[in-house]
Amino acid sequence: MGNWNGQTKAEYQKNYKRVADIIEKSAGDKEKAMSLARQQTAKITDEHKAINRAMAAKDMGHEHVFEVFFHRAYELGTVNKQEYREYKLSKLGI
83 found inside a domain: yes
Question: Is 1 domain-assigned?
Answer: no
Residue 43: which domain range?
9-91
Q: Taking the model in full, what pTM does it have? A: 0.86
Query: What pLDDT tens digit does each residue of the chain (94 aa) get?
Result: 456 666 788 888 999 999 999 999 999 999 999 999 999 999 999 888 999 999 999 999 999 999 999 999 999 998 888 988 898 888 888 7
Residue 2: inside a domain, yes or no?
no
What integer pLDDT is reported at residue 15 of this predicted model? 94
Please return the burial class of 27, using the count of CB atoms within 10 Å of its CB with bins 0-12, 13-18 and 19+. Answer: exposed
Q: Are 68 and 41 in contact (CB under 8 A)?
A: yes
From the list 90, 39, 46, 38, the residue with the least C-alpha distance to 64 is 38
pLDDT value at position 9?
A: 86
* Number of domains within the chain: 1
In a domain, 55, yes or no: yes
In a domain, 43, yes or no: yes
- In the chain, where does DSSP find H-type helix? 9-26, 30-43, 47-59, 63-76, 81-91
